[in-house]
Amino acid sequence: MESWHGTTILGVKKGGRTVIAGDGQVSMGNTVMKPNAKKVRRLGAEGQNGIKSVIGGFAGATADAFTLFERLEKKLEASRGQLLRAAVELAKDWRTDKYLRNLEAMMIVADADTMLILTGNGDVLEPEGGIAAIGSGGNYALAAAKALDEYEPDPEVLARKAMAIAAEVCVFTNDRLTIEEVGG
């Protein structure tokens, strides 16, 4: 059975702003199945400005990721928008629930203060240096972002440049980006 590849997600937290960028490619084997998938979105309740205050990007099976996003939104609601608390509660469920344990996805989530990587192993990780990446091209995007970090003060520009580099070297990554930002 061919395996699905489909994501490069990059999070950059810098200068009071956090950006999560995701490419649009979904591949099965050596075939591009969809070039414009949206793997980054806003989550949680709307804030005072009418904009949701948490952003997230996923790598892995799409249906699994949507299930996890829905669960995270419920946890955010229950924790009054406290991302870290909601993420820890989701990770506990993800690790121990018989159904959730089989979901194959990873997420990067962020609010104005915190950026986290969530995994099915129960991990809730805050990336060192404010840069995180997951997915098929994640290591390429991570390396490019770390190399550019010292020279590019704007987190969105940095994310766009790093994702462009990842798209050039990873056959499972393209340049059709979805970008969301919080903070600033």
| Residues with catalytic roles | 7
Question: Across-strand partners of 55?
Answer: 42, 110
Q: In sequence order, what DSSP letters do the residues of 44-103 get, joined into one string?
A: EEE-TTSSEEEEEEEEE-HHHHHHHHHHHHHHHHHTTT-HHHHHHHHHHHHHH-TTGGG-
CA distance 160 to 20: 10
3-class state of residue 36 by DSSP: coil
